[in-house]
Structures are given as C-alpha cells and as structure tokens.
Amino acid sequence: MTTQRHYSPIDRLLLQADAAMRTLLPFSGQPYRPSPAILQPDTPMSDEDTRHVAGLMRINHTGEVCAQALYQGQALTAKLPQVREAMEHAAEEEIDHLVWCEQRIHQLGSHTSVLNPLFYGMSFGIGAVAGLISDKVSLGFVAATEHQVCKHLNEHLEQLPAEDEKSRAILEQMRIDEEHHAESALDAGGFRFPAPVKFGMSLLAKVMTKSTYRI
C-alpha cells in the first residue's frame, strides 16, 4: 500500500524555487514528448522571415514561461488537493511547449526574451492571488488565459511563412493542448469570466507580445 506524501509549506516553497529555475535557465527543462518539429523538413527561409518567426516563437516561449508561473502560483495557494494536483499536472504538460519553443528559437539563431524573469514573477503573483480567492476563480483564470493563448497561436499560424513547417507543427500541437487545458478547467468548475475581465487580460497580453517580440 502506497501513501501520498504531504509537503510542508517550506517544502512547497523549495519546489516552487526549483520550478522557477528550471523554467528560466536555458535548456534546463526536460520535455515529456519529443518536439513535433523533428518530423518536418528544415526548409531555408529569407533573413527577414527568419527574424520574424524567431520573434513569434520568442513571444510563445514567454507565454509558456507565464503559464508555468501561473500554474505554480495557483498550485501553491489552491485549497483543494485535487485542484492543486491538476495545476501541477498542467504545468508538467506546459513544459513540453516551453522546451519546444526554446529549441526552435535557437534553431533560428535567436534567443529567448531577457524579460522572462519579470513576466514569471508577475504571473506567479497573479496565480497565487487567484488561488487565494477561490479554486473556482483559479480554474476560471486558467480557462480564460488558455483561450487568450489559443487566440495568439491562431494569429501566429496565419503569419508563419508557408515553408516553415517546423514552427507550424509546434504551434498546431500547442493549440490542441491549450484548448484541452481550457476545457478541462471549465469542466472542473472554473468560473467563466465576464467580457470586461477578458478585455483587461487581452491588454496585458498585448504588452507582453509587443515587448518580447524583439527582446
């Protein structure tokens, strides 16, 4: 018979610190699934297209950094054990996206955003506050965030050069996963945020995308 380990507050803080380091340090994450890009041909692109795609993938990488922080913050303050476990499981799945984007960025000869630590801290705080309010709000925030991510992914898929099948394969799989996360959060009882809240979240997302496209 196996028993589930119960972590103390100090244990959880140490685990959060470890998760932050694995998210922010280059090439420190280990994906659970191989990148969809490995099955696609490496087609040459113009310098302009390469820089543009690198910028788009940098935005998506920072989005995954924010997702990691959001889930970790919510897991820290979630009241119900099953909600905490769901947040931690979702964070594990998002690691795939984080690593896939990072790999593609470096294949394109570019770099991840230097602003990632700032966005990680902000997202962790938002997630922790949402968890403190209620698990219903926390799950609702996940759903609203994932819907926002899917919107950006759709926009980026439209902007990709036709020949860039590697980036397209990554973003298409990410969209499938994010849609599943959003549906799961709502099915678990997540609060459906009203339009004004979603609009505010959209404005914050625009700040992130504009600032991380180049830096």
Q: Report yes or no: 138 and 130 within 8 Å, Cβ to Cβ.
A: yes
Q: Report yes or no: 94 and 64 within 8 Å, Cβ to Cβ.
A: yes
Other CB atoms within 10 Å distance of the CB of residue 51: 16
Q: Which residues are annotated as a binding site?
A: 64, 94, 97, 146, 178, 181
Q: How far apart are CA 53 and CA 156, in angstroms?
A: 9
Q: Which residues are annotated as a binding site for Fe cation?
A: 64, 94, 97, 146, 178, 181
